Amino acid sequence: MKPITFLVLLTIVFVLPVGVSAATYPISWTPERVQQTLGLGSGSKFTVTFVTNTKLENVDLWIAPELQQFMALDRPHFDTLLANTSYRVGLYFYIPSGTQTGLYSGTIHLRVGSTTYFQILKIELQIVDASEIIEPKECC
């Protein structure tokens, strides 16, 4: 086999499947990353949006195990996602009082059946003692 033929075959086998997958199901999140600082025993809600460029059906949003104890989604399942349509999802955070303080990181993924799409929403959750949170004071 000629070297050029071998290179073309390698490109077809290894590069094109990745390119097709990336082009077929790009999902974009806004914002691309969520960063929250919460005190022990507190909670908050944050809204994100996402868009996919193709129609998808029976879609689940999946929270990585590192964050499942601290958050829930107001809409974890979509029967149908239409192409180029924006979808809003509320992220609910709650930090139990006995949680160890520190930085917790994880992601949210879109899943269709056994397929998980690689365009993820990154979540960083800084858990602090409630006394460390500085509340703004009214002035004058």
Report domain extents, the chain. 23-130
The 10s digit of each residue's pLDDT in 109-120 is 999 988 888 889
How do beta strands 71-73 and 56-63 pair?
unpaired
Which one is predicted more confidently, 99 or 133? 99
Q: Give the helix ranges, DSSP H, for 1-140.
A: 3-10, 16-24, 65-68
- The correct answer on CATH 2.60.40.10 for the domain covering 23-130 is yes
The 10s digit of each residue's pLDDT in 43-91 is 999 999 999 998 999 999 999 999 999 999 999 999 999 999 999 999 9
Query: If we measure between CA atoms, which residue out of 27, 18, 41 comes closest to residue 117?
Result: 27
